[in-house]
A = this chain, B = another copy of it.
Amino acid sequence: MSLLVVGSVAFDDLETPFGRRENVLGGSATYFSLSASHFSPVQVVAVVGDDFGSPELAVFEKRNIDLEGLERRSGRSFHWKGAYGYDLNEAQTLDTQLNVFADFHPVLPEAYRESPFLFLGNIHQVLQLDVVRQMARRPRIVALDTMNYWIRDYREELGRVLREVDILLVNEAEVRALTREHNLVKAYRRVQEEGPRILVVKRGEYGVMLFTPEAIFSAPAYPLEDVFDPTGAGDTFAGGFLGSLASEGRVDVPALKRAVLAGSVLASFTVQQFGTECLQTVSGQELSGRLQRFSDMMRIDEL
């Protein structure tokens, strides 16, 4: 089944203890769609400027990502500059230039409005809600990402869009800020009261925790010796997670667990190189090999 993502396509300047890159392709919708494309057809709604040229276009085309919803405007694309220290857990934002993204008003092409899976990337809640309203009918699954900025300053608007959401994907600090609950089991109950019946908590190197009404599941990050650049790991996870669900066309507990594994493994490729380098080049064989090893790693024989 097809999967629609609304988010940002950007250029990033990245600095980690292991090196730096300037003007590399980034943005939540970029990581998300490259990742999801390994499992399902993906449609992108985003905005770019004149600096988005044929090399960038080729990255998406190689992965058969539908860009009918990519708006082009005159001006520069969204630009983000960030740096990481040795523990790589949190980016320090050095500069954010919204550029054409400042006036982004997502408009869904006709063909996108029937998508059964919708991912609302980290954009203004009013825009997220507007996207939901543009759909021909309620999608089977609406998933949403948000961040502390919206939680702090737009809590009411966030509440309105959460009512339309099935799956909330956030990090640990965000779910605690959103629910004012430190304990995640309790925080999940608060989240359910606001709408989403499924909660995915992203915990960086500690992996991911999934809450559903029937089950709690947790997977570690795929263990790696070398992590070069964590940029985009969360969006890559979300793409693999929802891409896997869309390809199965079901969202029961076994499918959700497999989706957690898929998202985790894709994120492990992302962090092994700078930006989207690894996501662009990883083969289906490498992906399924690592997925199998991850599943074997986690398997427990009967007690």
Contact = CB atoms under 8 A, between A and B. Distances in A.
Nearest to A253: B301
A220 B209 contact: yes
B223 A185 contact: yes
A215 B301 contact: no
Interface in A216-260: 216-220, 223-227, 254, 257-258
Contact of A299 (B186, B218, B219, B300): B300
Contact of A297 (B217, B224, B301, B303): B217
A105 interface: no
Nearest to A209: B220
Contacts of A182: 86-87
Interface in A270-303: 291-292, 295, 297-303
Counting every copy of the chain, the complex holds 2
A183 interface: yes
Interface residues of A, number: 36
Contacts of A82: none
B185 A224 contact: yes
Given A183-B227, A185-B223, A226-B183, A301 B218 contact: no
Contact of A303 (B218, B224, B258): B258
Contacts of A218: 207, 219-220, 223, 298
A261 to B, nearest CB: 7
A123 to B, nearest CB: 30
Contacts of A291: 303
B225 A216 contact: no
Interface of A: 86-87, 182-186, 203, 206-207, 209, 215-220, 223-227, 254, 257-258, 261, 291-292, 295, 297-303
